[in-house]
Structure formats: structure tokens, C-alpha cells
Amino acid sequence: MREKHYGLGFFSLLVFIFLLGPLLIISVTSFEPGTVLKFPPQGFSLRWYENIFEVDLFMSTFKTSIVVSLLGNIMALLIGMPAAYALSRFSFRGKDALNALFLSPLLIPGIVLGFTLLRYLIIVYHLPVYAGLLIGHTVIMLPFIIRVIASSLSNFDFAIEEAALSLGAGRLETFFKVVLPNIRSGIIAAILIAFLESFNNVDISVFMTGPGFSTLPIQMLTYVENYFDPTIAAISVMLMILTGILMFLIERLMGLSYFTKR
């Protein structure tokens, strides 16, 4: 048993090194003072972190990513919250098919989904690039909104809602005054997770952006094609910090156990 225990520990260590090793290397190389990405770095400098704010394209695409993620989040929330409530509260014909439809963006490869959105939204229906990008990000955020809110509703006792209705409250009043406050942490967690998925998305954005209009991840890919300095490593470190902060907030709000249920 002792040998098996040590073997499992060694295997777990290898997995952690495999997963975290590249992140550690990127973090270290972001402080390289030279003009070429090197590991190990030849010194220590913050010049490439300063360079992020000096390149106008990084700042403009960062703003675009923020706006698209926030607007898409609002649209996904307006669709996903009623859908999650209906799927959790009621039993009706076609419920499983509807649930599968809402979760299908998670099952379809991102490249296929991005090409399909480009084919129909931009080429066939001639929507503006910004509108197509917003719709695409709403589609990929919707499954996360529905899944997390539905998980939160699974722990809600709907007998409380029935009690409020029996005392004369309307359905909308009951939803906003009884149901919503009880799933508030789940809604906030859903917003944060969907925001991360949208902000870091590449496969949808690469099809739905064009000349003069791009998101931060796509701009990072374009920059790597032309430059090999540590700026991208510095941006990656900042994005990792942002992701870590948001994941910490999600854990504090709900806990990881919410995402292993159902």
C-alpha cells in the first residue's frame, strides 16, 4: 500500500508540473529585459508590462473585449435566467430537447460554431461585424449562465415560492422577492464564469472580427506573428491574475461543489 501511495503522489506531481510548468515559464520570461523572449531570463525588468499600455491596439482591443463580454453577458442573462428557472421549476414535453439545445454550444467544436456564425450572420444576413461578434459571444455564454443558475435553483426549496403565491403574491413579485434573493450568489457566479469564457475566447472571435475591429486575444495572436518580445508573456500574466481573482470570487460565492452536481 505504501508503494502505491508514493506512486500516486509522484504521478500527481508530474500532472501538476505538466499543467503549471508552462504558466510558470511564461510568468518568469515576462520579466526578460531583452527584446527577445528567453528562458531563463537574462535579468529582471518591467519594461514589457509598461509596453502593454503604450501599444494602442492592446488598449483598444481590451476595451472591445470588455464591452462585448459585458453586453453579451447581459443578453445571455436575460435569456438564460428564465430558461434555467423554467427547466428547473416545470416539467413539460420537450424539456430534455430544449435543455440539450441550450447546452449545445459546449458540445459543438468552437471552430465549427464560429464558421457557422460567420457563414450565416455576416455573409447571408449581412449583419455588422460588431453585432455578429456580440451574438456569437452571447451564444457561447448562454450554457454557462443556464448551467450555474440551474445548479443554484436545484438547492432552492420551491415550497417557499408556493407559500408566497398562496399568500397572494403574483408570480413576478414572488420571483423577484423570493426566488431571486435566494439564488443571488449563483447568478453572480454565472456572470463571472460567462465573462471569463467570453473575454478569453479565440475560436469564435477569430471568425467574427475583421480589419480595424478585434478583441484582445485575437490582437495577441496577431502580435505574436510579427514580434517575439515578452509583451505577450506580460499580458498573459496579467490575464492569469485577473482569472485567478475572478475564480477566487466564484469560489467564495458558491464553492466548487456547485459545479460537480447534477
Nine-digit cell string for 126 = 449581412
Structural domain span for residue 98 = 48-252
Lowest mean pLDDT among 31-40, 149-158, 162-171, 198-207: 31-40
Contact present, 121 and 135 (Cβ < 8 Å) = yes
Q: How far apart are CA 60 and CA 236, in angstroms?
A: 17
Domain assignment of residue 197, yes or no: yes
The pLDDT of residue 165? 87
Give mean pLDDT, residues 48-55: 87
Contact present, 208 and 129 (Cβ < 8 Å) = yes
pLDDT tens-digit series, residues 140-161: 999 999 999 998 898 888 888 8
Q: How far apart are CA 58 and CA 48, in angstroms?
A: 13
Domain assignment of residue 18, yes or no: no
Domain assignment of residue 33, yes or no: no
Q: Please tell me the pTM assigned to this model.
A: 0.83
Number of structural domains (the chain) is 1
Phi, psi of 210, rounded to the nearest 5 degrees: -150, -175
Domain assignment of residue 53, yes or no: yes
What CATH number is given to the structural domain containing 67?
1.10.3720.10
Domain assignment of residue 76, yes or no: yes
Which residues does 88 contact at the CB level (< 8 Å), separation at least 6?
150, 153, 154
Domain assignment of residue 20, yes or no: no
pLDDT tens-digit series, residues 158-183: 888 888 888 888 888 888 888 988 88
Contact present, 66 and 134 (Cβ < 8 Å) = no
Domain assignment of residue 11, yes or no: no
Domain assignment of residue 136, yes or no: yes
